[in-house]
Structures are given as structure tokens and as C-alpha cells.
Amino acid sequence: MDQSEAREWLATALAEARAGLGEGGIPIGAALYGADGTLLGRGHNRRVQDGDPSMHAETAAFRAAGRQRSYRGTTMVTTLSPCWYCSGLVRQFGISRVVIGEAVTFRGGQDWLAGHGVEIVLLDDPECVDLMRAFIEHHPDLWNEDIGD
């Protein structure tokens, strides 16, 4: 895909991550885009805000998009490499592509997804890295809780 489009979509996920941080939450954001580039849903991690451990950013964006008959051609954009839970979401529902802000602070199931035909676009975005580095440094317990460590 076009790198400028990928970065534009990442900006939506980053805005979600920043909003989550502003609410005292874990700064991970995501957005689901349709095959035609329409924004279907966006969201951020809500573990702290809602006391809801299931609301990882990707699940929040998927949920916000509501019921869809097919995910063929859709793109999940996330500020952080998707964990097994969110990788499973992508595989089960046949989401075609994942745009990842960074996989430095956490490397999830991206290789597994690539092996199952999902297109992976890794952007190595420094702001995504900085957000997670600072958060993990200040709130290691919350971060470990969020990934079940």
C-alpha cells in the first residue's frame, strides 16, 4: 500500500492512543478501514477507563465498526504490534491487512498473521515507540497486566 496513506491512517490510531493516555489509560489506539478507505471504526485500550480487560485497541475499533458481513479488503491500523488476542481477531474475521505503528516495545503475532496471508505494513513510527516506552517505564504493572505477563 501507499506509505503516505498508511501514515495518514496511523494518525487516526495515534490520536486514539493519545486520547487514551489523556484519560489515564494505556496509550494504544487502533482504527479499522474499509476496502474503499472509509473509516469503519476507531478506538483505544480501555482497561483502566472501563475496568474492561477485553477492550484492547483493536477490539475497540472492531467493535466500534459494528456488524459487518465481510472484512475482505479491510485494514486494521494499530499503534502497537497486535497481541495474540488481537491477532486472532484479525485471522478469524479475515481482515486483509494490518498497519503497525511499531513492534519495538512489544512484538505480537504479526509473523503468524503474515504466514496466514495477512499483509503486514510495519511503519517504525518514533512517536508510537516513545508513547509506549514512557508508559511502560512509568506503569510497568498496568502494562504487564494488559498483556497477561
At 69, list the grid cell. 458481513
How many residues contact a copy of itself, by CB under 8 A? 30
Catalytic site residue 58?
A: yes
Helix (H) or strand (E) holding 43: strand 39-44
x/- mask, a copy of itself, residues 24-63, rule CB under 8 A, reads -----------------------x---xxxx----x--xx
Interaction residues for a copy of itself, span 74-103 (CB under 8 A): 83-89, 91-94
Q: What span, in angstroms and rounded, lies between the C-alpha atoms of 25 and 27?
A: 6
Helix (H) or strand (E) holding 137: helix 126-138
Residue among 24, 22, 15 nearest 101 (CA): 15
Closer residue to a copy of itself in complex, CB, 79/87: 87
Stretch that binds a copy of itself, among 10-18, 68-76, 98-106, 126-134 (CB under 8 A): 68-76
Query: Is 140 one of the binding residues for a copy of itself (CB under 8 A)?
Result: no
- Write the burial class of residue 4 (CB in 10 Å: 0-12 exposed, 13-18 middle, 19+ buried): exposed
Residues within the interface to a copy of itself (CB under 8 A): 47, 51-54, 59, 62-63, 65-71, 83-89, 91-94, 109, 145, 147-148
